[in-house]
Amino acid sequence: MLSSSQGKLVRNGEEKKSVIWIEGNIASGKTTCLEYFSKTSDIEVLTEPVSKWRNVQGCNPLGLMYQDPSRWGLTLQTYVQLTMLDRHVLPMACTSPTEPLKGHGGGKKSSTPVRMMERSIYSAKYIFAENLYKSGKMPEVDFAVLSEWFEWIIKNIAIPVDLIVYLQTSPQTCYERLKQRCREEEKVIPLEYLESIHNLYEDWLIHHKSFEVPAPVLVIPADHDLKKMLHQYEENREKILMAHC
């Protein structure tokens, strides 16, 4: 059930849970970070619903957007906004409809004190929709409609977050990782696109000169190899998992 709290819609009867967003560029290491904490901590992990973005009643809006962003940018970003909102308002102790990570099976009940999310409705708007608009690939009217939906959502629906973990990665590192993992939709992504996404993230989470930052930010340099990154996650474990204290 939804109720009103300070003018925003929230769910009834939920215990306070620390909510952490893992933010960063494409191929910055978000999945590795989520896998590490899902294996070593009693937390709830919500991955980006990429499988939904790849298959909407047989259509692939993610692939279409990368092929022709001017035509399909609004279509994808509207759906991303909807599916990310669905993640944000999931009851805090419910079955998690994610693509399961290793060590965290879908269909498992969670009553853990920490929820960790891959990205957010904020980065969907402030980074990816903004990039489409600034690069001239989203018409002004499309961006205006998407923006009004976003503003209504954050004004009227509670989007909990206690900490933003920003995996700060150079565009060149992301580009090399992206080529190695060979996801079909990402084959057309140029380095320039990753540079644009990087700059928007820096403006938002580091320089605070573009948009609202809804929680404290923990910056983790993420250009390193896997061994070094796992060490950094362990070093920052207490800061991350105790974000609500």
**Average predicted confidence (pLDDT) for the chain:** 87
Among candidate residues 118, 130, 176, 192, the one labeled active-site is: 118
Kindly calculate the radius of gyration of the chain based on its CA atoms and give it in whole angstroms. 17
More confident residue, 96 or 43: 43
Residues linked to residue 18 through DSSP beta bridges, in sequence order: 114
Question: What's the pLDDT tens digit per position in 77-90?
Answer: 999 999 999 999 99
Asked if residue 62 lies in contact with residue 130, where contact means CB atoms within 8 angstroms, the answer is no
pLDDT of res. 42: 85
Q: What is the pTM of this model?
A: 0.86
- Domain ranges, ordered by start, for the chain: 2-241
Active site residue 185: no
Q: Once rounded to an integer, what is the mean pLDDT over residues 198-204?
A: 98
Question: What's the pLDDT tens digit per position in 97-128?
Answer: 444 444 343 434 445 689 999 999 999 999 99
Pairing of strands 217-221, 163-168: parallel
Q: Please tell me what DSSP assigns to residue 106.
A: T
Query: Which token pair is 43?
Result: 């937390």
Question: What's the pLDDT tens digit per position in 129-185?
Answer: 999 999 999 999 999 999 999 999 999 999 999 999 999 999 999 999 998 887 787
More confident residue, 186 or 118: 118
User: Is CATH 3.40.50.2300 the right assignment for the domain spanning 2-241?
Assistant: no
